[in-house]
Amino acid sequence: MSSIKVVTNILKVNDELTRENKKLMNQKGLYVINLMSSPGSGKTSILEKVIARLKNEVKIAVIEGDLYTTKDAERIEAHGVQVVQINTEGGCHLDGQMIRNALSHLNLEETNLLIIENVGNLICPASFELGEDLIITVLSTTEGNDKPQKYPRMFEKSGIVILNKVDLVPYTNFNKDEFHKDIQEINPKANIIETSCVTGQGIDELCSWLKEKISISNPV
C-alpha cells in the first residue's frame, strides 16, 4: 500500500476554468457582476430596473441562471439586451464550465457590463467563483433579518448588499437595525443599498454606484 500526499484544492477544476474565463473577460474589458439571492427576493425585478436605466449608456449582457425555466431570461430579453439562459437542471449554482459555454454565445465586443444572475439560493453559489469583479447579494425584507447570520458566506463576499422590498418593512417583523449591525460585523466593507421596485427607492443610488465602477474599470 502506498500513501500519497495530495493537498489539492477540491474546487481546482472550477478555479482553473474560472481563471481562463476571467482572462477572456479582462481581454474584452468587461465589468462582471455576480448577482445572488434566495428565490423570490426580487433580483430579476431589480435587474430589469437597472437595465432600463443604464442600457442607453452602457452595453449590457446578461447570463441568466435558472433551475428549469426560461421565464427570467424572457423578462430580461424584452429590454433588448443580450441574454444567454443557462438551465442548471436542478443544479444549485453556476460554475466555470457553464460560464464558459455562455460566454461563447455572447458578442463580447458589444459588451461593457456582464451581469450573471445566479441560481436563487443563499448557500451554494457562494462557494463557486465565476471570475466576477463584484458580488451583489439581494435580501428582501420578507425573508427576515436572520439570513445574514444563517448564511454569512455570501454576505461576507459581497461588495454590495441590497435590502429589497423596504416598502414592506411596516408589514413584516424585519429589524433593520439588527440587519445593518449584522452586515457590519460580517463584512464591514459592504455597501448597503435599500431598494424598492415598487417606489423606485435606491435604484438611482445603485445605478450611480455601478456607473462609477464601470468607468473605473473601463477608462475611456
- The rounded distance, in Å, linking the Cα atoms of 197 and 171 is 16
User: Pick from 42, 72, 128, 132: which binds another protein (CB under 8 A)?
Assistant: 128
SS3 (DSSP) at 97 = helix
Q: Which of 48, 52, 91, 142 binds another protein (CB under 8 A)?
A: 91
**Residue 7, all three cell numbers:** 493537498
3 state DSSP class of 115: strand
CB of 145 vs another protein, minimal distance in Å: 15
Which of 151, 133, 45, 148 lies closest to 92, judged by CA?
151
Which residues 6+ apart lie within 8 Å of 13 measured at CB?
Answer: 96
Quick check: 146 and 122 in contact, CB under 8 A? no
Instruction: Tell me the C-alpha distance between 210 and 176, whole Å.
Output: 24
Residue 150 beta carbon to another protein: minimum distance, rounded to whole angstroms = 10
Among residues 49 and 132, whose Cβ is nearest to another protein?
132
186-205 positions binding another protein, by CB under 8 A = 186, 188
Binding-site member from 12, 27, 177, 219 for another protein (CB under 8 A): 12
93 binds another protein (CB under 8 A): yes
Give the number of residues in contact with another protein, rule: CB under 8 A: 31
Q: Least CB distance from residue 35 to another protein, whole Å?
A: 18
Give yes or no for residue 29 binding another protein (CB under 8 A).
Answer: no
Question: How far is Cα 125 from Cα 48, in angstroms, rounded to an integer?
Answer: 21
List residues binding another protein (CB under 8 A). 1-14, 91-93, 95, 123-124, 126-128, 149, 152-153, 156, 184-186, 188
